[in-house]
Structure 1
Amino acid sequence: HNKKKLLQGGSVARAILESKKFGVRALIRDETRPSVQVLRDLGAEVVKGDLNDKASVEAVLKGTYGAFLVTNFWDNFSKEKEVFQGKLVADAAKSLGLKHVVYSGLENVRRLTGGKLEVPHFDGKGEVEEYFWSIGVPMTSVRVAAYFENFLGPWKPVKASDGDYYTLALPMGDVPMHGISVADVGVAVSCIFNSPEEFVGKAVGLSSEALTIQQYADVLSKSMGKEVRDTKITPEVYEKLGVPAVKEVANMCRFYQMKPDRDIKLTHRLNPKVKSFSQFVSENQAALKEN
């Protein structure tokens, strides 16, 4: 998951540098990562720092027009740490008078469902969104749909034990699930920075398209040359699987079944080259075949 966070930040940095309207200063923790050299090569100024440290955050934000922030729940599986980091950045943005923050947020599911559902990796981001707005920072939240990249990793089709086919197990029933490639987020965010008057104070749901799990399976089947079946698993049964973060994913899918707002039309306007799932899969065939 850490890789995804880097990809989101990297995708945004690349798009902003390519649009030539802003320079980029990137906050990184580990200078030995290959992605850091990539950012330098693109022309970003790279600063070592830590989102848990006030002085470090203020130093990187000082003198900037705005900031793109993505926090990482999966670092410690801790909602509290994620909220702490988000609020620290919000306070620094407020005191330094930043003109526009774009935050990679998500809904506060716990609040929206009156405590019935908890999705910690959403809820913390929702709390941070609310905090940014409550202290008056000019902020746009981008709520990114499920990453297509997950279908190459944690949600990869699994070979069936009883035959020559593969299964896809995500508890969505027949409700379409929105998705997007993390690589396509950057251009959309860059456009949002270029239109503050339209986007400050708003939450924007980014999605390339919404497909049912069976439709995702059909695209994967075509690409793999093997049948992929939607197992039609329920959230209740999914929760009993012995895989990491089952409750988290089950509750996320329960929330997705409530159809949170993701704006396909707007996403295509912000990034006309946004890839469909079948385009994404055909570009990543090698990764899929590593089964």
Structure 2
Amino acid sequence: MTIKEFDMTETIAVVGATGIQGGGLVRAILADPARRFAVRAITRNPNGAAAQKLADAGAEVVAADLDDEDSLRKAFDGVYGAYVVTNYFAERTEAEVAARSAADMELEQAGNAARAARDADVRHVIWSTLEDTRPHFGDTDRVPTLDDGRYKVPHFDAKSEADDLFRQAGVPTTFLRTTFYYENLVDSLGPARDADGHLVLTLPMGDSPINAIAVEDIGRTALGIFGRGEEFIGRTVAIAGQALTGAELAATMSDVLGEPVTYAPHDWDAFRSFGFEGAAEFGNMFQYYAENHEQFTRDRDLDLVRELNPQLQSFREWFTEHHTELAR
């Protein structure tokens, strides 16, 4: 498959351009040696330091808000494509939390983006989505049902529900299913020292592999999809960088760090009981990842992901570069 020839005036609008996924795509477009697209970075705060950094790098920075459909319509005007991602975990005021759940926020924002893209005649939208976990868990109560009895893993299930909003709007859409970030493994879910000073990885995956990816590779893969023109419109593309067990992750960390990392996973019920905000949801998520790992892995064609993104990183490659970010 040859890469589609693009006019240099064709622009990709990136929602959440100063965030994790959106920022990765903006950087991928700007670093693309083929210069296939220009990029319009959409942010609520165009005067902020992050937005100004993107402007200095060559992005067109435009103000818009996912809660304001009209602002999105204006921001999408004249672009070829748009990358749409919502942030279930965005900081919200008490009043905002009282007004609607995070899942309802995502559904409303996705609907706003879909209608705005339709009205602006955007020719290709990539919607960053996730699987619906409810078919796997069924009607059983072996994991708690959350968000007023609607969802098992709200930040997965609501995004999956929002897929239909793009279909109903008639927007030419690729549904990009992402997964767990490598970055989580040097952050809140990375190995920590036990009482004896030894590094221990407690990722609640049992013996099952987890599919994970570097955030930068999400952006580069999205750019690869845009670069193939209409080929992936109407299709779901599920991505990952590598599937590794907790023991394999710990072994890689040990090699790179030069000291032992032990894998001693929490079980799901223990994780749900920890009491921090979102503990039940994340416990459900890890149980879904572990129990459904065979299907989740089959759905991710890593040969296709490498074709779209030849720079796709293994965990070892990524961790070798980023291990100094681990708090240890």
Unaligned runs of at least 5 residues, structure 1: none
Distance of 1:196 and 1:149 partners within structure 2: 30
TM-score of the pair, normalised by structure 2: 0.82
Q: Choose from 60, 65, 70 the match for 1:50.
A: 65
* Cα offset, 1:4, TM superposition: 10
Do the aligned partners of 1:5 and 1:70 also contact (CA within 8 Å) in 2?
A: no
178, 181, 190: which one aligns with 1:156: 190
Q: Report SS of the residue matched to 1:252.
A: helix
Cα deviation, 1:59-93, whole Å, max 9, x if unaligned, reads 10111112001110001471110111011100111
SS at structure 2 position matched to 1:30: coil
Question: Any gaps of 5 or more consecutive residues in structure 2?
Answer: 1-15, 93-100, 144-151
Select which of 301, 314, 317 maps to 1:276.
Answer: 314
The alpha carbon displacement at 1:197 in A equals: 3.1
Aligned equivalents of 1:212, 1:251: Cα separation in 2: 18
The percent identity for this pair of structures is 35
Contact kept in structure 1, 2:73 and 2:119, CA below 8 Å: no
1:172 CA displacement: 1.3
Q: Which amino acid aligns with 1:16?
A: I
Correspondence 1:1-291 to 2 at 5 A: 6-17=19-30, 18=32, 19-75=34-90, 76=92, 78-110=102-134, 113-116=137-140, 118-161=152-195, 163-257=196-290, 258-259=292-293, 260=296, 261-288=299-326, 290-291=327-328
Cα-to-partner distance string for 1:243-272 (whole Å, 9 max, x where unaligned): 442112111112212022222221111111
- Structure 1 residues 29, 4: closer, same or farther in 2, change over 3 A? closer
Instruction: Map Cα deviations across residues 155-179 of structure 1 (whole Å, 9 max, x no partner).
Output: 1211112x23122122211111011
Render the CA deviation track for 1:174-222: whole Å, top value 9, x for unaligned.
1110111101122211110121332111111111110001111111222
Q: Find the aligned partners of 2:17 and 2:198 in 1 and give their Cα distance.
A: 28
Q: How many residues align?
A: 287
Check the 8 A contact 1:83/1:128 in 2, yes or no: yes
Q: Distance in 2 between matches of 1:253 and 1:56?
A: 36
- Judge conservation of contact 2:201–2:250 (CA < 8 Å) in 1: yes
- After TM superposition, give the deviation of residue 115 of structure 1 in Å: 5.0
| In 2: Cα distance, 1:86 partner to 1:25 partner | 19
TM-superposed deviation, 1:112: 5.4
Structure 1 runs (4+) greater than 4 angstroms displaced = none
Give the aligned residue type for 1:137.
V
Q: Could you tell me how far apart the structure 2 residues matched to 1:287 and 1:152 are?
A: 6
Return the letter of the residue paired with 1:43: G
Q: Which has the higher helix share?
A: 1
Q: Distance in 2 between matches of 1:256 and 1:241?
A: 19
Normalized against structure 1, the TM-score is what? 0.92
Residues 18, 43 of structure 2: 8 Å contact kept: no
SS of match in other structure, 2:230: helix
